[in-house]
Structures are given as structure tokens and as C-alpha cells.
Amino acid sequence: MAKEKGFYKKEGLNVNFKEFNGNDIVDEVLEGKADFGISDFYLVEARLKGKKVVAIMPIFEYSPLAIVSINPNIKSIKDFKNKTLCIPKYYLNTILTELFFIENRIDIKKLKVKNQLFGLNDIKNKKCDLYGIYETDQLYYFKKYHIPYKLFAMKDFGVKIYGDILFTSEKLRYSNPKLVEKFKKASIKGWEYALNHIDETIKVILRKYNTQHFTYEKLKDEALKTKEYISNFKFNLEKINHIKTMTKLSLKLKGDFDLVDFIFSPYIKTQKEANFIKTHKIITANTTKWPPFLMEKDGKLEGIAKDFFDIVKENLFLKTENKILSSYSDVVNYIENKKADITFIATKTPKKENYAIFSIPFSTYQIVIATKKDISFVPDLNFLRNKKIAIGKDYSAYDLLKNFSKLKIVGVEDTKQALLMLEKNKVDVVIDIMPVLAYYISVLNLDNVKISGTTPFKYNASFMIRDDYSILKNMIDRVLEDIPHIKKEKILSNYINVNYQQGYTEKYIKVTYFWFGIVIIILLGIILIIIYQLSKIKKLSKQLETMAFYDKLTNIYNRAKFKNILKEFIEYSKRYKTPLSLIFLDIDYFKKINDNFGHEKGDLVLKEMVKVAKLSLRESDVFGRWGGEEFLILLPNTDINGAKIVAEKIRDAIESHDFDGIKVTVSLGVTQLKEDDTIESFVNRADIALYQAKKEGRNRVVVF
């Protein structure tokens, strides 16, 4: 369908298909007789044997190879002993079949094996007890001719190896990586379209590609089975390594390959870049004292910056060694002296540019000012003259502000120490990035501390890389440029939960009016100043509150705020024995909308969907964005039946709405609070119901 719907043409590609004729597909591609091919896990074996194939994407997450029994006495795998198995030799001699027998402790020598293709007449005449088949293809005939069977799908018995894999040659990969990426992109669109328009796709096959003379019924059955096996078109690196290890052991192969050679990445453009990744273990240096960007949990490093680096690492197949250092100063020292290659978060400053280079920013934040609550508002840096300002040593804010005249900068180990000093009145002000200050104020329960203003500076959060690794920086930039906005937003929402307090106190205003009330002219001047400042405060306060509590795209509660509200309602519901229901909503095939129409159109769909859904809700209902295209709706004083009615109204309203020419549907899971529920169990039950709704075909409501 990628060709039929013009997806290849849109990418500037003229694609012709060659039907399989029994030739070796791998050799056809390596010899240049075809640019791309579809094989299976055999590609791993081929690469181990020195054939320079490059896997582009998995099509089937699992191989559909299965063994089916027509002998009613075979109830389980244990009953295979001494039975007759009809299976083609090329199926039998694969790592997949061998693993199936090993995993399930079957001695192949105790089976009567016949090298035989699947044949309908053989099944009808019951020539064998067991048959090796492709579940997506040949199981259809057992159903059609009402032949009783028992299926042993290999994926269900511990053997989860990729099925069909799109691949190319190493030569094309490096000579024209843009071509490979375009072909991959259009092929994914074609698969997604075919799976979402099965009837249309079947008609195209029957009209133009049906050399095997299949019926509509047969193709429909195959399409529905294929949907169960289709992958997300991304390789799992651990899975590939497992297949490689088992293939080497099974076939006693001495060859090996690096994942960077075997799996296509659009972010690795040249052989030189691939060789750099193969020959360099990347030493990372970080401190755990900069939450929510970097922190320690259960002995492991986590945080916003770590999550962004994990995306980079996965896409570039980086081999890393992680060093956790006690302070950010140590981190900077490691990069400067090339004892480490990269740190996960920094911003460009003239000083650091003497020894480091910087990736493009993965996010940007305002550098803000925290004070005690008795200071109502900090309008600018001049207000801070002669005040003690605590900033982490070697932090970017420290470098930016240390040369400002009459600013008394106190260098501290980290922001946590700075805020504790502020709490004890050892300093007057703390300056850092907004999420860091907000995180510590919340975690340390500093009720007497608040964010009181902003500096003119912004912090561009980037990776800082040793200055002789420009080749690594270039690859990292390509990955960061390609991270969708919605994915960045989800990473941030997992960590940031900000509470702000802003504004003049009543006492402050009264004192101000009293002292300046004597002189009318001065009073009028001060009133004008105050009005101006109040408008500034109100505007800033609103901005900070919006950042803290609301999703900036849809303008409904974000995940952190919704969780807080959810906790309060659960406690209230349990205390007063009132019903409380939850709806988990997910936009169907949202990735397809982004891929086909662009992320701007995807954002429009998200905003419009929220507006439509709100029309079915009461003022007392709580609507929040859980992440990406997932939303939660809390219905106070509503039992499960009432919640289902609301969910159906929302579903119907969205299905009927015109999203600027795009058809949009949603799946919804509904559940009611139980006495022993926690936030996690309550949300999880709604999530399970949502999963069931999607499994049953989407665009429906399921009640748990």
C-alpha cells in the first residue's frame, strides 16, 4: 500500500516489486539485483557468516512459525514423542525450531520427521500427526475444512524471535542513507495504512498482486492474523543480541558483528561514524545532586537528562561506562581533563567552550530567583544588590552572574545546600533553573521559600562533550533533532511537579501605602509603580502556575497536578463513602496522525479533542493529560454505570466531530474506586480496561 497510496512517490522513490521465485533473497540484495529485501532471523546468521546485510526494521515482532497437531491424543508438547512431524527441511534447520525443541525439552530424535511442504491433501488424509506451518497463512485451511487441530505457536512457548525483517546491503546503507531512511519511512506508512484499511488493501491485492489466486476470505483471515504479529518497527537490542548468541551456539559459528554494523540507524551516516562507535566506549560523568535532571533512585542514575541520553544511546548503539561523581565541579573537571567524554546536562558558556563542545539543546528553561516569603517580588537583578546569593559552583548561573557588579555570589556545592542555607537565613537568595528549584522546594518541604522572580537568562539544557569528539556531537544532534515534541513533553511530565507562590502580601501593601501616604505626589507615583508591579506579578504568577499545574498544549491539568487531585478525591470518597469513577482515554492510532499529517496537526487534534470531550463533562469533573495521547477523567459522586454513560457520550462526540478533515476515534477504560484502592491500583485498573478496549478493536468503552 506504500506504493498504491503514493507514500514512496512522496519521498521521491520509484519502487518496483520482485516476486519471490525461490532465489536466495540475501544474495539478490548483496549482488545489487535488488535494493531491499524481506528475510527473517536468518539475517543474523548471514551477518555472522560475513555477509554484509543491514537490518532496517522488524515487520513481525515474532515469527509466525508454529506446529499444529491434528492428532486428538496430542494434548501438550509432552505428547510429541514418537509422533510423525511433517515439516520442510529449511524450517527444521533454523535456530527458531531448534530453540523451540530445546526450550520445551523435546528430543527431535524421538520424532518421526518428514521433509515435506505443507499440503492440504496430506492433512485431509492425516499422513502426519504434526505439521510445521505459518500461523498467519496456513492455519486458515484447518478452519475452512473443519479439521480439528491444536496449535503450538512458537512465540507462546518461549521462542520470541523476529519474523519478517526489511533489510538492505551495507553498500547502500552508506552510499545513500537518505534513500534507506525514506524507504523505511514510506514502508511504515504503507503497513500502517494496510492494517487500518484491510478491505481496501485486499481489493488491491486481488486486482494487482494475486499470483497465488487467493480468495478474499483467505486474505481477510491472513490480515487479521498478521495484525497480532506486527511489530512497532523498532528493534529491541537485547533481543537481537539474544538471537545472535543462540545462533552462534547452535551453528557453532566463530564470527561476530557489532550492532552498529547490523542495524540501520538514520543518525549514523558514514562508515567513519560507525567505526567511532565500535571502537570507543563512551565514558559518562554525572552527579546525582541535580534533580529532577539527574538523581539517584534505588542505586541507579535517573532523571530528565538521563532519559534523553538513553534515547541517544539506543539510537546510536553506544557502549558506555558511567561515572557518578560527588559534585558538578568534579564533572566539569573530568570533561576538561578528558577523563570523561560526556555529561548529560550543561549549557554553553565562554569558559566551558575552552575545553568542551555542546549538543543542540534538548530543552530550555528560565533561570529563576528563590527567596523567603517575606520578599514579595524580585523585579530584576538590581533588586539583589548587596544581598547574599547562593549558586552552585561551576553551574552556568554562577558563570553568568559572578561578574555582575554589587552581586554577592556565594558558591555552594549544589542547590539543595543553597536552599537549606536560605532557610536558615545564611543567604538571602538562591538562583538556579526553575525545575531544580521547584523540585527541591517541594521535596524539602520549604514552606517559607518561594520563587519570587526571573533573571534575564535562559538555560539551554544540552549534553557537554569533550572538544575532540565532534563526530559524536554530530550524531547526537541528529537524534535530538528527531525526538518528537510529544515525547519530550512526556519525559518532562514524569518528573516536574512544581508549586509556586507569588505576589505582594497584604501587610506589605499596607505598609507601603502608610509610609508614602504623606506626600500626595509621591503617593500617586508609588501607586502607579505598584499597579505596574502588580500586573507584572499577576502575569508572572499566572505563567508559573500554568507551568506548574497545566499541560501547556491542551490547557488542562498535567500529570503531576492530576495525581495530587486524585489523591484528595480518593481520600474524600473513602471518608464519606461516596462513589468515585475514573475514565482512561486514549486517542486511537495517534502515531499515524502525526506520521501522516505532521506533529502540528497532531497537536491540533489533541487540543480539539479536549474541547469536544469537555462538552460532556460537569464543572466538578476533573480532566487531566496523563502523557502523550493519554488522558484521565475523574468523576466525583458517579458510580460505574454513570461513568460508562459519560464515556460513551465522549466517545460518540469525538467520533462525530470533524477534526479539520481527519477522522478521530478514542478508546476508553472505565472503573470505580474500591475501598482498598491506592492511586496506582485505581489508575491501573482503568488502564487495563483501556487496553482491553484497544484489543477489541478500538473506538469503544470497556468497563472493569
**Cα distance from N-terminal residue to C-terminal residue, the chain:** 37
Sign of the CA dihedral 28, 31, 34, 35? positive
* CA distance linking residue 422 with residue 416, whole number of Å: 10
* CA distance linking residue 619 with residue 668, whole number of Å: 20
Judge whether 186 and 7 are in contact, CB under 8 Å.
Answer: yes
E strand or H helix at 183: helix 177-196
Tell me which of 481, 571, 629, 648 is the catalytic residue.
629
List CB contacts of 299: < 8 A, sequence separation 6 or more.
Answer: none
Is 629 catalytic? The answer is yes
Is residue 515 classed exposed, middle or buried when 0-12, 13-18 and 19+ CB atoms within 10 A define those classes? exposed
Nearest to 697 by CA among 32, 224, 294: 224
Length of the chain: 704
* CA distance linking residue 446 with residue 435, whole number of Å: 15
3-state secondary structure of 397: helix
The residue assigned the cell 511433517 is: 86
3-state secondary structure of 61: coil
The residue assigned the cell 524481506 is: 38
How is residue 60 written as a grid cell? 513481525
3-state secondary structure of 670: strand
Tell me: cis bond preceding 292? Omega within 30 of 0 counts: yes
Strands (E), 243-362: 281-287, 295-297, 300-302, 319-325, 342-346, 356-358
Backbone angles phi, psi at 197, to 5 degrees: -135, 60
How is residue 520 written as a grid cell? 500626595
* CA distance linking residue 214 with residue 632, whole number of Å: 45
What letter would DSSP give residue 430? E
Paired sense of beta strands 53-58 and 130-134, if any: unpaired
Sign of the CA dihedral 37, 43, 48, 54? positive
3-state helix, strand, coil in the chain (%, to 5): 45, 20, 30
* CA distance linking residue 553 with residue 543, whole number of Å: 14
Strands (E), 429-559: 429-433, 449-466
* CA distance linking residue 271 with residue 104, whole number of Å: 42
Strands (E), 288-407: 295-297, 300-302, 319-325, 342-346, 356-358, 363-372, 388-392
What letter would DSSP give residue 205? I
Active-site positions? 629
